Structure formats: structure tokens, C-alpha cells
Amino acid sequence: MTTKVRLIDVSKCVGCKGCQVSCKNWNQLPATPTEFSGSYESPPDLFPNTWSRVKFNEYADSDKVKFYFSFFSCMHCSDPACLNICPVKAISKDSLGSVKVDLGVCIGCGACKGVCPFNVPRIGNNKMFKCTLCSARVSNGMASACATACPTGAISLGDADEKIAEAEARVAELKKSGFANARIYGKDELGGLGVVYVLTDAPDKYGLPAEPKVSLADVYFWKVALGPVKTLATVGLAAGALSGWLQMRKEEIRKEQEGKE
Ligand code: SF4
Ligand code: SF4
Ligand code: SF4
């Protein structure tokens, strides 16, 4: 199966939250009551029972409020830090590109949350929860629940090459229409993400890190906390040694996954 990309074109988003509700509905996730905090954004964060949400990034524009809406969920990274750190190999990436957690194996240690460059995983009842890219739907030829619900076509799912070409064409169109800062996000970041955005302005305006990075300090912390590489800490090896360990771990996971296919 070809790797899929979820394309999010924020220039088409009207902030209706249909995607958010559809995600809850398909995954049978209960609603969590929230209190009005002065923003229309709700819920204010991801939670174990909220795997996607629409950010209402607000800016003052003369005497008006300007919203930069953006759907946010797991980025399904091509080289996921969460998968690389998990001490019990509960996380895997399938041929669609979906990064998934096996709840039967997860021990809820939180290392995946600690190293994720987008702060996506949430821990509840000693298990990790996040978006699955609706892999059960997508592997059966359906669109993800969020894309199915979106009334404006702001979210769509398709083969990676096609979606990236579509994003590039859309950015060119937006630039011609006066959005000088329009750009793609997710095509090159961290070696390519499973979620590609068409943005009308800089990433930080949409609450996205301009240059997402996996923090080696966080990886180091978690490896020490998790125990198996305690020797790295005691002999005081530096970031180079840790990078070497990570490469070894990635290779091990790649071989294991090849063996499963
Ligand atoms: S965004 Fe975070 S949780 Fe999602 S695949 Fe990347 S590292 Fe893992
Ligand atoms: S909480 Fe721990 S065991 Fe569970 S998926 Fe994350 S890193 Fe793996
Ligand atoms: S359903 Fe579409 S238009 Fe509505 S908030 Fe989600 S992405 Fe935006």
C-alpha cells in the first residue's frame, strides 16, 4: 500500500470543528466538558480522549480579531521519535504511514510524550493515546473521519506524491492571490511528515514549531530514566554516543518491521 499524506489546507478552513467531532465519533471518544476561557477554541489541548482539535490562533487586526484556524493532531512522522524511544516496542508504523500504538503492549511510561517534537501523545490509565490516521478506514479505501466530515475540503488524504504536488500548486495559487508568506509545512520538516500543511503565513502563527527538532537532551533523559542505557549516563558519554545508540535502535526496529511484512 502506498504511503498516505493528510493534507491540511488552512486557507480553506472555516473553524467549524466538524473534523474534531467526527474524530470523536468514529473513535467513540467521550466529550469532556470545558469552561469558556475567553476563546472559542475548545478543548484547549489534546487529551487521552481528544486526539485532534482545531486551534483558533487569534490575532488583532485593526479593530477586528483575525483567526488562523488549524487542525492539529499526530503528524505521523516518517522517522517517529516516539517509536524510536518506546522501551517495549508498543509503537509501529504501517505501510500507509500511520504511526500506531499497541495498547496491549504499552506500559504508559510517557517517554513517547517526552520526546515528541509536537507534544502529541497523551497518557491516560497507563496507556498512550493519539490519532491513528484512521488506518482501519484508510486500509479499506475510505478517507479519515476528519477528512470525511470537512465541508470545505480543507482536510484530504491521498497518496503522498499527489498530495504534495497538490499542496505546491495551492501555495503557488495563494502567492498569486496576495498571500506572500504562503508555504508548505511538513514536506521537508524532520525528513518529511505524514501531515502536510498549506499555510498562508509563518508556521508559528498557526502554533507549529518553525523548525521542529527531536531534542537529544529529552531522548537522553528518557533513556536514562528508562534504564536500559544507564551505562551511557554513568560513563558520561555525550550526544554523539546517544545518536549512535538511536541509529542502532532505528535499524533494529526497521529490520523487525521488515520481518513482519
Ligand atoms: S508527531 Fe509525535 S506522536 Fe506523532 S508520530 Fe511524530 S513523534 Fe510520534
Ligand atoms: S507510554 Fe511508554 S510504553 Fe506506551 S507507547 Fe509511549 S513510550 Fe511506549
Ligand atoms: S472540518 Fe474542515 S473547515 Fe471545519 S474546522 Fe475542520 S478543517 Fe476546518
Q: How confident is the model at residue 233 (pLDDT cuts 50, 70, 90)?
A: very low
Please give the pLDDT value at position 230: 43
* Mean pLDDT within 36-46: 90
- Does residue 73 have a pLDDT over 90? yes
* Residue owning the nearest CA to atom 2 of ligand 1: 116
Q: Exposed (0-12), middle (13-18) or buried (19+): which is 261, by Cβ within 10 Å?
A: exposed
The residue nearest atom 1 of ligand 2, judged by CA position, is 108
* pLDDT higher than threshold 60 for residue 240: no
Q: Where are the domains of the chain?
A: 1-213, 215-261
The gap from C-alpha 3 to its chain's centroid, in whole angstroms, comes to: 15
Residue owning the nearest CA to atom 1 of ligand 3: 150
pLDDT tens digits for 10-29? 999 999 999 999 999 999 99
pLDDT of residue 251: 62
Q: Which residues pair with 68 in a beta bridge?
A: 57
Distance 197 CA to ligand 3 centre (A): 13
Q: Which of 188, 185, 152, 163 minimizes the C-alpha distance to 14?
A: 152
The pLDDT of residue 255: 63
Mean pLDDT, residues 181-207: 97
Q: Tell how far the Cα of 191 is from the centroid of ligand 2, in angstroms.
A: 23
CB-based burial of residue 135 (10 Å sphere; 0-12 exposed, 13-18 middle, 19+ buried)? buried
Residue bearing the bigger pLDDT, 245 or 181: 181
Cα(185)–Cα(128) distance, integer angstroms: 26
Residue of the CA atom closest to atom 3 of ligand 3:
13
Taking CB atoms within 8 Å and a gap of at least 24, the contacts of 185-192 are: 186/5, 186/75, 190/77, 190/78, 190/79, 190/117, 190/214, 191/77, 191/78, 191/79, 192/78
pLDDT at residue 75 in the model: 98
Atom of ligand 2 nearest to the CA of 121: 6
The three cell numbers locating residue 105: 503492549
Cα of 166 from ligand 2 centre, angstroms: 35
* CA of 146, closest atom in ligand 3: 1
CATH topology of domain 1-213: Alpha-Beta Plaits (3.30.70)
The answer to whether residue 37 scores a pLDDT higher than 90 is no
81 CA to middle of ligand 3, Å? 28
CB 106 within 8 A of CB 127: yes
Testing ligand 1's pocket by substitution, the residue of 118, 193, 222, 246 carrying the most ligand atoms inside 8 A of its CB is 118
**Strands, E, within 86-185: which ranges?**
91-93, 99-101, 122-124, 127-129, 155-159, 183-185
Mean pLDDT, all residues of the chain = 89
Given this model, what pLDDT does residue 92 score?
97
Who has greater pLDDT, 239 or 48? 48
pLDDT, position 138: 94
* pLDDT tens per residue, range 92-143: 999 999 999 999 999 998 999 999 999 999 999 999 999 999 999 999 999 9
Question: Ligand 2: distance of its center to the CA of 188 in Å?
Answer: 26
Amino acid at 119: N
Name the nearest CA neighbour of 73 among 34, 26, 38, 142. 26
Q: Separation of 20 CA from ligand 3 center, angstroms?
A: 8
Tell whether omega for the bond before 228 is within 30 degrees of 0, i.e. cis: no
Which protein residues touch ligand 3 with a CB less than 6 Å away?
13-19, 54, 69, 71, 149-150, 152, 154-155
Q: Mean pLDDT throughout 77-103? A: 95
Query: By CB neighbour count within 10 A (0-12 exposed, 13-18 middle, 19+ buried), where does 10 fall?
Result: buried
Closest atom, ligand 1, to C-alpha of 193: 6
Asked whether 98 and 132 are in contact (CB, 8 A), the reply is: yes
